[in-house]
Chains A and B, each alone.
Chain A
Amino acid sequence: MSLEAYFDFVILPILTISVLLVFIRLFKGPSVVDRVIALDLIITIGIGIITVYSIRQEQEVLLDVAIILALIAFLGTIAFSYYIEKQEDD
């Protein structure tokens, strides 16, 4: 099996199944914080998917998108936790 086929038929399906499993938690999640970490994990797995896709397509430009996504995931989690903590005060 060549490396291209391995990326296409093993690595990408594993990552896709992971995103689907996390989506179940995003829908079920009993509290807001569960949903926040599920969203954070989805974006982190998205960075991995973008990386594998850029390896397969030989488009290294796509890694720029991964940098932006990492930034947005961090900022989103920080903002969510800040406002969840503030909400408790009122």
Chain B
Amino acid sequence: MIDIILAILSTIGALSILFASIGVLRMPDFYLRLSVTVKASTLGVGLLLICAAIMFPDDVSVTTKSIAIIFFLFLTAPIAAHMIGKAAYFTGTPLWKGTIVDELKGMYNKETHCLESDPKKAHEDPEAECKQLKDQATD
């Protein structure tokens, strides 16, 4: 019975990792690649780690380590994806030609790296509000 559960979990995990790697190879655009990679690979590695936790039932340390790694991956993967996506948007990585809407267009001030809700405001008044926010953050 445990063998069947392990086989099912590891199969789903390995297949989702395979789909993530096919997606990162075949998707037309950086942002689509990013969105495929993070979700599918986190799911796959999480399922494989659950397999390891089931496989060593006597050993509490393995379960603890597996849960720690899963927790860490779930915590850090979205943060890393957000950071690298933001850096890619600033450096002007091109969008796919089939992209319909780019809601961030013109809302980032390229000088101060601040996000405005109004596209006009981001360019006409670059210094005032944004700098104030940054000073508060450093204090």
Contact = CB atoms under 8 A, between A and B. Distances in A.
Interface string A74-87: 10011011101101
Given A3-B7, A10-B11, A60-B61, A51 B24 contact: no
Secondary structure dominating the interface of B: helix
B10 A11 contact: yes
A51 B14 contact: no
A74 B3 CA distance: 33
Contact of A84 (B20, B34, B61, B91): B91
B17 A14 contact: yes
The secondary structure that dominates the A interface is helix
A74 B80 contact: yes
Interface of B: 3, 6-7, 10-11, 13-15, 17-18, 20-22, 24-25, 30, 33-34, 37, 41-42, 44-45, 48-49, 51-52, 55-56, 59, 61-62, 65-66, 68-69, 72-73, 76-77, 79-81, 83-84, 86-88, 90-91, 93, 110, 113
Interface residues of A, number: 50
Contacts of B13: 48
Given A48-B13, A74-B76, A21 B21 contact: yes
A17 to B, nearest CB: 7
A60 B80 contact: no
Nearest to B51: A55
A48 B87 contact: no
Interface of A: 3, 6-7, 10-11, 14-15, 17-19, 21-22, 24-25, 31-34, 36-38, 40-41, 44-45, 47-48, 51-52, 54-55, 58, 60, 63-64, 66-67, 70-71, 73-74, 77-78, 80-82, 84-85, 87-88
